[in-house]
Amino acid sequence: MAKVTKQSAKAIPAFKLVPAPLDEAAAELPKFKYASPEVGTRHRLGGAPDFIQADDYPICPDCSERMTFYGQLDSINDEFNLADCGMIYVFVCFGCFETKSVLQSY
């Protein structure tokens, strides 16, 4: 088995993710009724997370290093709402390839 070397958290350049419906069911989903206009559009890869609550960078369970922010996924609409217009934040350790997700909401 190859030895894993410790790496500090890498910063991934920021990419805006723009969801595009892949089928008719997705295209027909209604928008949020009462959420602010940016909710549902905050998807991204890399850059810095737009934490809703306090910063919450996880530590890798294997090497104890801070994990790298990989991306965030926003709530979709009132039916597919993450808690209260929340987001899922995904982190990765590039040394160990462990992943962790964090959910935050208002």
Q: For the segment 23-61, what is each residue's pLDDT rounded down to a tens digit?
A: 999 999 999 999 999 999 999 999 999 999 999 999 999
Q: How far apart are the first and last CA of the chain?
A: 44
Cα(33)–Cα(15) distance, rounded to whole angstroms? 27
User: What are the backbone dihedrals phi and psi of residue 25, each rounded to the nearest 5 degrees, phi first?
Assistant: -60, -40
Nearest to 29 by CA among 76, 92, 64: 76
Give the per-residue pLDDT at 69.
98
How many other C-beta atoms can be found within 10 angstroms of the C-beta atom of residue 40?
20
In this prediction, residue 2 carries a pLDDT of: 40
Whether the predicted pLDDT of 14 surpasses 90: yes
Please give the mean pLDDT across all residues of the chain.
Answer: 93
Answering whether pTM is above 0.85, one says yes
Ramachandran region of residue 73, left (φ > 0), alpha (ψ -120 to 50) or beta? beta
Question: Which pLDDT does position 10 carry in this prediction?
Answer: 79
Contacts of 23 (CB under 8 A, 6+ apart): none
